[in-house]
């Protein structure tokens, strides 16, 4: 799991670990954050220490872990919960137990973790984990919804699967990679939900145009940029639909997934979802041509054509641009080699887009398959912003910042 922060400034993340078997997974969160360059501090509740030790997380974070024993020591000049609350930029609680959830809902503070939360103003990320029956109790769900009504709290959906009690159902804690990604988003946005109430439609990945069941024309796109856009939009409050070509990653909990294979299938899915969308980001690498004929059975090698007849596929972005309404915002991508700006400008103007992202695919650690990217954003007024190399999640947030700041004239999607 790769993650990167801005190397020029260390980010401060406080992790609160509750009592539950999922506590062992939080070790990966702590380790990943530290490796990414963040300063990490950890609070363990008394119950959490029944599952993992302070020594474990201290070793991973390179800093002593805090427990209630530290909270009640009178040797500090300032109260520990005040220092930690003021220090943290983001506070994440994982696993969040039913007990801690109830305390937070009613503003109770009887240990170091709950006192620190009340003494802080930073965004709080909640990753609940518990038995299915516990999670589905009306009282627990009432507390969950009441707490999330406070804009300071950001909740992660529980997963579905085999639990430690051998029950198969809801209640699994979000995976460490998802928790880290959400923390990164909160560090960028400081918890703002500026896409709340917006419906965001995103395409991702490289389409495949099959000659027969095993051979196809394709491209190296992995869809990681589209995935990052979906994550960033969801973390900023949007309702997200992701239309994606075959991929090796999992669609995050909370994102509507529409898997497709060919450009024709992607076209159909995008057109069906388009009328309800406010913001559309066409990040997929869609094929330009396809084999003129398709064989339902695998062609013998001797039967393969020496010259493959091709025919064009529909231009999905151009079709969406023709259908776009004044309240909608349509953004395209232009993956280029060499001069990336000139062809991107032509694409922006010819297809009458609101903005375009020009990104190089011939530079190290950028473009297809990479965890990082660099780009130039261009809007329909000619404003350009160059984004230095960063993670694709950061690139996604930079794009949404650009959209919010540049595309705000009357009659646009705002």
Catalytic residues: 165
Helix (H, G, I), strand (E, B) or coil at 362: coil
Round to whole Å and give the CA distance between 173 and 13.
19
- Looking at the DSSP bridge assignments, the partners of residue 28 are none
Round to whole Å and give the CA distance between 325 and 309.
37
CA distances from 55 to 20, 35, 59, 79 (A): 18, 18, 6, 23
Q: Which two tokens stand for residue 218?
A: 């394709």
Closest by Cα among 254, 244, 256 to 285: 244
Output 62-66 pairs: Cβ under 8 A, ≥24 positions apart.
Answer: 62/34, 63/39, 66/41, 66/42, 66/112
Round to whole Å and give the CA distance between 317 and 338.
23
Torsion angle of the four alpha carbons 17, 22, 27, 33, in this order, in degrees rounded to the nearest 10:
-70
Round to whole Å and give the CA distance between 270 and 323.
12
Question: CB neighbours (10 Å) of residue 202?
Answer: 31
CA distances from 187 to 33, 171, 183, 195 (A): 12, 26, 6, 16
Round to whole Å and give the CA distance between 369 and 365.
9
- Could you tell me if 80 and 71 are in contact, meaning their C-beta atoms sit under 8 angstroms apart? yes
């Amino acid at each position: 799991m790769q993650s990167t922060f801005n190397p020029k400034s260390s980010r401060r993340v406080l992790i609160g670990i509750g009592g539950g078997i999922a506590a062992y997974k939080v070790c990966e969160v702590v380790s990943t954050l530290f490796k990414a360059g963040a300063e990490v501090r950890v609070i363990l509740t008394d119950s959490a220490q029944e599952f993992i030790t302070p020594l474990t997380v201290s070793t991973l974070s390179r800093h002593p872990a805090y427990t209630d024993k530290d909270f009640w020591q009178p040797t500090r000049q300032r109260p520990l919960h005040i220092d930690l609350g003021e220090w943290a930029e983001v506070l994440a609680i994982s696993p969040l137990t039913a007990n801690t959830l109830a305390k937070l809902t009613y503003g109770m503070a009887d240990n170091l973790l709950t006192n620190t939360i009340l003494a802080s103003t930073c965004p709080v990320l909640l990753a609940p984990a518990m038995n299915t029956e516990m999670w589905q109790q009306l009282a627990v769900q009432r507390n969950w919804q009441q707490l999330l009504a406070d804009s300071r709290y950001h909740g992660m959906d529980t997963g579905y699967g085999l639990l430690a009690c051998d029950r198969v159902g809801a209640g699994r804690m979000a995976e460490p990679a998802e928790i880290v990604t959400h923390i990164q988003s909160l560090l960028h946005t400081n918890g703002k939900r500026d896409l709340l109430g917006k419906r965001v439609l995103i395409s991702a990945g490289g389409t495949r145009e099959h000659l027969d069941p095993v051979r196809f024309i394709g491209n190296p796109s992995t869809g990681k940029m589209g995935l990052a856009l979906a994550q960033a939009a969801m973390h900023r409050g949007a309702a997200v639909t992701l239309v994606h070509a075959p991929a090796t990653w999992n669609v995050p909990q909370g994102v509507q997934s529409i898997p497709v294979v060919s450009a024709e299938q992607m076209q159909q899915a995008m057109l069906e979802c388009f009328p309800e969308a406010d913001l559309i980001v066409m990040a997929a690498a869609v094929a330009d041509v396809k084999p003129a004929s398709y064989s339902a059975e695998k062609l013998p090698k001797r039967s393969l054509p020496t010259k493959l007849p091709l025919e064009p596929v529909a231009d999905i972005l151009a079709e969406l641009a023709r259908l776009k309404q004044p309240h909608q915002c349509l953004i395209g991508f232009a993956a280029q080699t060499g001069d990336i700006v000139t062809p991107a400008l032509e694409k922006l103007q010819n297809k009458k887009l609101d903005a375009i992202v020009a990104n190089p695919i011939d530079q190290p650690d950028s473009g297809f398959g990479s965890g990082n990217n660099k780009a130039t954003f261009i809007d329909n007024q000619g404003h350009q912003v160059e984004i230095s190399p960063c993670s694709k999640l950061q690139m996604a947030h930079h794009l949404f910042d650009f959209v919010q700041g540049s595309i705000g004239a009357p009659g646009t999607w705002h």
